[in-house]
Amino acid sequence: MSISVIIRTLLLTPIAIAVIAGPQRSHAQSLDGPDPVETSILTEETVQDPTQSSTDASTPSTPAQTSPPAQTSAPNPTPAQTQGPPPSIENTVEAAEPLPRRDLVHWNEYHGPYFTIRVGAGFLYDFAAFAQDEASKEQIALLPGEKVRDFRFIMGGKLFPEWTRSVTWCAGVMYDGPTNSWFLRQTGVMIAVPKLLGYFFVGRQKEGFSLNKVMVGYDGWTMERFTMSDATIPLLADGIKWLGYSKRHGFLWNLGYFNDVASKGQSFSSYSSQEVARLAWLPVHSEEEGTLIHLGFNFRYGKPVDGELRLKSKPEAFIAPYFLDTGKFAASSSNSEGYEVYYRRRSLLFGSEYYFQHVDSPSTHNPMFSGGDVVATWLITGETRPYNTVGGYFKDIAPSRTVFSGGPGAWELVFRYSYTDLNGGKVHGGTFGRFTPMVNWYLSENVRLEMAYGYGHLDRFDLKGNTQFFQARIQLQL
């Protein structure tokens, strides 16, 4: 039996059980109870529906820190108010992409008897300059500049808030800078299935391959994902994914099947179908000590659109052109596999990911490509980066004392080395390695400034060139 058949069976059988079981309506919960905007809290035995106020964490909630019921007479907090630190480990997830815990406004939510909605937006603006040696100038021409990196509108909420079974939804649109166009981002419905220890998401979403890729771009510790990630893993895909977590065993999984029926021709769609399996074990995950060890393995099988594949990536600088590029070549399928290893000890985080992609392409001698990164981060102001156990990813930073409340905000030092090799068989896409020290300043959860220096080495076109990168970014969220 093929991997494709196995993954589809694992996905479709539990969802059929969920449909047969159906949602149940709770008579005990009233509209005057806790705010229904948050997703349910998942345990191994049951799914409850405690809810978060408009200031609580957006994507996952947590059993470790329960928000008090929202009172209709209480005004929404402003950025100047100070909250306690968010939990370092969160055990639930919802369909919508994360929104800041602290709101700048109070008019962006609606809570009704049949659905809830919360609207948010994000904006990234990049600046970059470069210094090249002679070989680098011969390889690729670089010019300093500034440009909108990302502009998106997102919304999400709950369907039928009184049901005990959590059903959340999300929708989003995003401006695509390279193509100067708009496209649908993560959009779909997520259903909690507590007897199967997880959730099913149907719609447009992240495939689930690679912790760094699954993380929302606004939450990452670096400006861009490492080059192997961008070259080989599509940003989004349409399909169904089963996310689960067994708290008793510290084991989580993401299994998905996707195709391009609705997305063919869009910039992110390079495969006609793909199956993804991601498994991870958390041998240590202590909320009290802030300690976490994440050990993961990923597998992906895909069939390229129209029997052709092209892998390319920018040098972790959005304003720069593509440094790595295989060009189009014939390919009937590809297999990708690799590891994830992360260790977090309160304000310190160390991690590494590395992947291999094997391409079935007899005309180019079946090339194999590889790449990954090693990263270390330190929050010198003492915060701990939260981790979500169901999705298996890290979240954004919530400053203990925001700049707007008279504090220093949160300061983070980051050091990363990444390397990608897109040479294999008759394909010569180049190799690229980059060392990046950078500083993140989180003024609040709504405002972040990023400053990075990079030193990169490109081996391509029979030349070996070195480039220095000077980058800055403004990040705003609502």
* pLDDT one-digit tens code per residue, 251-291: 999 999 999 998 888 888 899 999 999 999 999 998 888 89
Mean pLDDT of the chain: 84
The C-alpha torsion from 450 through 451 and 457 to 460, rounded to 10°, is 50
Q: What is the pLDDT, as a whole number, of residue 287? A: 87
Tokens of 407: 């504090």
Q: For residue 54, name the pLDDT band (cuts at 50, 70, 90).
A: very low
With a cut of 80, say whether residue 325 has pLDDT above it.
yes
Contact predicate 156/122, CB 8 Å: no
The listed range with the strongest mean pLDDT (76-90, 100-114, 443-457) is: 443-457
Say how far apart CA 270 and CA 230 lie, in whole Å. Answer: 12
Q: What is the pLDDT, as a whole number, of residue 31? A: 23
Q: What is the pLDDT, as a whole number, of residue 295? A: 98
Least Cα distance to 320 among 147, 61, 74 occurs for 147
Q: What is the pLDDT, as a whole number, of residue 71? A: 39
With a cut of 50, say whether residue 29 has pLDDT above it.
no
Q: What is the pLDDT, as a whole number, of residue 48? A: 34
**Least-confidence region, from 8-17, 71-80, 449-458:** 71-80
**Least-confidence region, from 177-181, 277-281, 409-413, 456-460:** 177-181
Q: For residue 95, name the pLDDT band (cuts at 50, 70, 90).
A: confident
Q: Mean pLDDT throughout 373-393? A: 96
Q: For residue 11, name the pLDDT band (cuts at 50, 70, 90).
A: low
With a cut of 60, say whether residue 229 has pLDDT above it.
yes
Q: Mean pLDDT throughout 331-354? A: 98
Q: What is the pLDDT, as a whole number, of residue 260? A: 94
**Least-confidence region, from 7-21, 292-306, 417-431:** 7-21
CA 359 to chain centre: 25
Better pLDDT: 325 or 10:
325
**Least-confidence region, from 20-24, 242-246, 388-392, 408-412:** 20-24
Better pLDDT: 38 or 4:
4
Q: Mean pLDDT throughout 150-154? A: 93
Residue with tokens 């929302």: 216
Contact predicate 407/399, CB 8 Å: yes
